[in-house]
Amino acid sequence: MMVPFFDLQRQYKRIEEEVLSATKGVYKKGHFILGEEVSAFEKEFAQYCGVRYGVGVGSGTDALYLALKAVGIGKGDAVITVANSFIATALAISFTGATPLFVDIDPETHTMDPNALERFFRGREAKNGNSKGRIKAILPVHLYGHPVELDAIMDIADRYDLIVIEDACQAHGAEYRGKKVGSFGTLGCFSFYPTKNLGGYGDGGMVVTDHEDVYENLLLLRCYGEKKKYYHVLKGNNSRLDEIQAAILRVKLKYLDQWNEERRGRALLYTRMLESMGITCPVEREHARHVYHLYVIQTDERDDLQAFLQGREIGTRIHYPIPIHLQEAYGELGYRNGDLPLSEEFSRKVLSLPCFPEMTDSEIEEVAETIRHFVERAR
């Protein structure tokens, strides 16, 4: 049985009539930029996240970049994040003129390790008596749909007077202690790339916040710094969620919780079948609600297993094969192999299996049985 890594056509068939009606309404109005659909979606998504404001932007990368700019991050500053994310997390920092600094990850959830973050600051204190320097913010990533340990991260940020900006681009609807991610830090950033738990039919993103002053900055930054048409009070960008994407996302938002529950069900079935094979499966902390944007296993035979699955027409991906601190693009930072041992080990073992709401039980069973065959052959 061929099993695709992802199949957006299946999702479209579930909501085809609603999507066509929504987009037709936009065409009829003839208003495609910053109109009623964007405004309504911003309010609906902010409410969904449990915050006051939402600002639709052009992509998840733009959401991160504009969030950093909105709180004054710029040249000479530094922002702490993790290296086992998509490179956009670091690029957004670099685009502001600031420098990304990396700490290692929790060995179970593979999100930012608060203990590593604490050690980072203590190390700076021991070296120069300055626990912060030009460090302005922490940018934790809710990786694959599992929340960061936000209590500890927020406590460290408070003690060192740092801003927290949540990278929730893979975690729409995930919860930490019953509260939606994106609502803990000063800002939360989301991507609406088509394969996300809440994805459009093109690029898109949003920044959410409870802070009115930050919200006002974001409105300026996403649209040329305009206070009103042709009156520019700062050097802004052109990064606007368009009306068609907003209309589609409004339709999809109604189904997000249902689709997340379906993802969780697929993940549970995978784990039940795989955990007896010596495969390391994802974990979900008791106080967290994982939404399984990706179902990522770990194995020392990752490359051989991926080739085995590919030979049997089962789609997989590696998220991500090279940690950001070892990417050629960030060679100037001077990181070396061994600087972030857990992130580096993780990158050598991870393999993402097909996991989306419309997958059938028989497809998951096919993937699991194929993995069983590989394990038995290896033994």
Write the pLDDT tens digit of every residue in 98-134: 999 999 999 999 999 999 999 999 987 666 654 444 9
Tokens for 118, please give them: 């604490």
CATH code that applies to domain 8-103+110-253: 3.40.640.10
> Strands across the sheet with 135-138, in order?
53-57, 205-209, 187-191, 163-167, 135-138, 78-82, 99-103
pLDDT band at 210 (very low <50, low <70, confident <90, very high): very high
Average pLDDT, the chain: 96
Give the CA distances from residue 212 to residues 44, 216, 217, in Å, rounded to whole numbers and listed in that order.
Answer: 17, 6, 9
- What was the pLDDT predicted at 378? 82
Kindly provide the residue ranges of all beta strands, DSSP E only, lying in the chain, ordered along the sequence.
Answer: 53-57, 78-82, 99-103, 135-138, 163-167, 175-176, 179-180, 187-191, 205-209, 226-228, 231-232, 288-289, 295-298, 350-353
In angstroms, rounded to a whole number, what is the distance separating the alpha carbons of residues 166 and 182?
6
What is the predicted pLDDT for the residue at 82? 98
| Phi, psi angles (nearest 5°) of residue 72 | 90, 15
* CB-CB contact of 79 with 137 (8 Å): yes
Q: 141: helix, coil or strand?
A: strand
Q: Which CATH number fits domain 256-378: 2.60.40.2470, 3.20.20.70, 3.40.1350.10, 3.90.1150.10?
A: 3.90.1150.10
Helix 60-70 × helix 88-95 angle, to 10°: 40
Cα-trace Rg, the chain: 21
CATH 3.90.1150.10 in the chain is located at: 256-378
**pLDDT value at 160 more than 70:** yes
Residues pairing with 356 in the sheet = none
Which residue has 């008791």 as its token pair?
286
pLDDT of amino acid 297: 98
Q: Tell me the average pLDDT across 145-154.
A: 98
Provide φ and ψ at 179, rounded to 5°. -120, 140
Closest CA to 207 of 183, 177, 224, 236: 183
Output the pTM of the full model: 0.97
What pLDDT digit, counting tens, does each position of 305-346 carry? 999 999 999 999 999 999 999 999 999 999 999 999 999 999
Residues of each domain in the chain carrying CATH 3.40.640.10: 8-103+110-253
